[in-house]
Amino acid sequence: MPSSDDDKPAPPDLPSYTVEDAEPLPRPSRRPPPPQDPAERHAGTSLVHHSVVLDDDRIDPDAAKVVRRLERSGHQAYLVGGCVRDLLLGGKPKDFDIATSARPEDVRALFRNCRIIGRRFRLAHVLFGSKVIEVATFRRNPSMDLPEPSVDDDASEVLDDLLIRSDNVFGDAHEDALRRDFTINALFYDLDRRQVLDWCGGMQDIQRRTIHTIGEPIVRFREDPIRILRAIKFAARLDLGIAPDVYDAMVGTREDLAKAARPRLFEEVLRLLRGGAAHRSMWLLWEIGAMSVLLPELSAFLDDDEATRGGSARFFGKMDAIDAMTRARGRPLEDLTLWTTLLKEPLDEWCAGERDRFRAVGEFLEPIIERIAVPRRIADGVRRISAILPRMAAGRTGRFGNTDLMGPALDVLEADLLSLGRPTDVVQKLRGTEAPTSARATSARASGPHRNVRGRSLAR
Ligand code: ATP
Ligand code: MG
């Protein structure tokens, strides 16, 4: 879900995650029960079904409950996307998404614990405590309606404007599979019949552990350049290969990333850093040249190993350190820790010899904030942590030790020391002096200027 930028309203082409007002809903439509035989249900499509028994213990029981209630009410409902992919690859899904023929208002009528979200495309969220099961009505990619470009069309012109600006068109299960990004993400699992429904060769790609786009890779990346970052994330996190034509298209369309919605860029870069595969992700991002579009400051630093005297090894050492810390803790590090560690090497180079390090960091960050919508609370935290780190490494923190930035700052220092193969005693010692969480004015994730324990703003 895109993270909200504190200062700027989300651009209108982004999904909004606001809860709708509870206005009276139309009564759910009465429709005849759909055919129960999968072949009949999806007649006329290129469906291949695979009998697969996924381990029930690894399937979220609440998600299963939602699927079964929808099916019993005469709708089609499947587990879809990342959860099916992760279950088939033997991993643990982060969350369980459901796709259904039911319209959002039909879902709402079936579940009391349901809210409808989104202005552009309405989704149903079924809530079980703090857990959210997302239920989306089948939809299709509106560009499926476009005529195939003829040989007379200027191909470059056609490819130039494929960016999807609206995708709120309902469709059927087959169309919903085809609108997805990669074949491994387009598998539907039919819980009761224990079958994986596959319209685009996703099962074979799971077995071969390869990333293929659904359809022409250049077209799919031009439609939504964020998919370039998603391909990197899946390749790095799940240790998958990227098909050569997909890889070439990622290189060929990387400049389109500059056209993507900036808050989505911010969020996807974080996802590359969070999953315990930051090293591989950053390597791929650099190798395909997308880093020079998103973070030219970092890619120029990595390119010039001679001038930075082995800067790339220091940078990737830091990525190894955050991967090791993520694995050891079993959860992602704070966003602020990740961003500060990501930028630390080029930042240190930029600030070398500067007397006013705080101001210098601000100047370095300005174009990055502009390019990828880094929220102010993160940019502010990166500035403050970067300014204090040299003193922290010497074991001194002063009043900074009482702020909510202390935890992320200690993690940045730990990653730094680990990457240099140095002992981390100073971090352990400083952790002992850290104010207890309850004493801190706000959590590190809270928005607004950071404050010390007495509530005085530390923002300059
Ligand atoms: P993760 O494990 O990181 O959540 P995911 O594949 O579940 O991976 P989500 O962002 O949760 O990713 O999206 C759920 C599903 O929606 C995907 O599996 C994919 O089928 C579809 N999807 C997400 N983003 C896109 C996109 N940009 N273009 C097309 N389909 C997408
Ligand atoms: Mg997901």
Q: Which CATH number belongs to the domain containing residue 88 in this structure?
A: 3.30.460.10
Q: How far, in Å, from the CA of 189 to the mean position of ligand 2?
A: 15
Question: In the structure encoding, which two tokens stand for residue 264, read together?
Answer: 């989505």
Of the candidates 97, 224, 335, 411, the residue annotated as catalytic is 97
The active-site residue, picked from 60, 62, 95, 248, is 95
Which tokens go with 94? Answer: 């982060």
Domain residue limits at 126? 1-145+158-208
Residue 219 is assigned to a structural domain of this protein: no
- Given 86, 106, 176, 181, the catalytic residue: 181
Query: Is there an atom of ligand 1 within 6 Å of 185 CB?
Result: yes
Is residue 177 in some structural domain? Answer: yes
Are residues 310 and 169 part of one domain?
Answer: no
Quick: pLDDT tens for 336-359.
Answer: 999 999 999 999 999 888 888 889
Asked whether residue 222 is assigned to any structural domain, the reply reads no
Q: Is the C-beta atom of 337 inside 6 A of ligand 1? A: no
Joined tokens for residue 429:
């010692």
The best mutation among 181, 188, 253 to test binding of ligand 1, ranked by most ligand atoms within 8 Å of the C-beta, falls on: 181
Neighbour-count burial for 29-40, b at 16+ CB within 10 Å, e otherwise: eeeeeeeeebee
Count of other CB atoms within 10 angstroms of residue 225: 25
Residue 371 domain-assigned (yes or no): yes
Tell whether 320 is covered by a domain: yes
CA 357/CA 350 separation, integer angstroms: 9
pLDDT tens per residue, range 197-238: 999 999 999 999 999 999 999 999 999 999 999 999 999 999
183 with 332, same domain? no
Residue 387 lies in a domain: yes
Same domain, 198 and 99: yes
Q: What is the separation of C-alpha 144 from the centre of its chain, rounded to a whole number of angstroms?
A: 25
Ligand 1 within 6 A of 97 CB?
yes
Same domain for 310 and 192 = no
Residue 181 beta carbon below 6 angstroms from any ligand 1 atom: yes
Query: Domain check: are 130 and 2 in the same one?
Result: yes
Atom of ligand 1 nearest to the CA of 186: 20
Pocket of ligand 1 contains residue 223 by CB under 6 Å: no
Q: How far is the CA of 98 from the centre of ligand 2 (A)?
A: 11
Q: How many CB atoms lie within 10 A of CB 302?
A: 21
Model pLDDT, residue 164: 55
Helix (H) or strand (E) segment spanning residue 317:
helix 311-329
Q: Is residue 40 part of a domain?
A: yes
Ligand that comes closest to the CA of residue 233: 1
Structure tokens at 267: 């969020």
Termini Cα distance of the chain:
31
Q: What is the Cβ-side half-sphere exposure of residue 435, based on CA atoms within 13 angstroms?
A: 21
Is residue 80 located within the same domain as residue 186? yes
Residue that wins the pLDDT comparison between 378 and 455: 378
Chain segment 96-138, per-residue pLDDT in tens: 999 999 999 999 999 999 999 987 788 999 999 999 999 999 9
Quote the number of domains for the chain. Answer: 2
| Domain co-membership, 180 together with 307 | no
Verify whether ligand 1 is closer than 6 Å to residue 92 (CB atom). Answer: no
> Is residue 445's pLDDT more than 50?
no
Same domain, 181 and 73: yes
Phi/psi of residue 274, nearest 5 degrees: -80, -30
Q: Are residues 191 and 330 in the same domain?
A: no
Tell me, using a 6 A CB cutoff, whether residue 254 lines ligand 1. Answer: no
State the pLDDT confidence band at 309, using cuts at 50, 70 and 90: confident
Is 97 known to be catalytic?
yes
Closest CA to 382 of 319, 440, 415, 337: 337
Atom 7 of ligand 1, nearest CA residue: 82
**Ligand with minimal distance to 15 CA:** 1
Quick one: which atom of ligand 1 is closest to the CA of 227? 27
Same-domain status, 77 and 203: yes
Q: Is 213 within a domain? A: no
Atom of ligand 1 nearest to the CA of 224: 27
Please say if 356 is a catalytic residue.
no
The 10s digit of each residue's pLDDT in 51-64 is: 998 888 999 999 99
In the chain, the percentage of residues whose pLDDT exceeds 70 is 80
Tell me the pLDDT tens digit for each residue of 136-194.
999 988 776 555 545 455 555 555 566 655 556 899 999 999 999 999 999 999 999 99
Ligand 1 atom 21, closest CA = 180
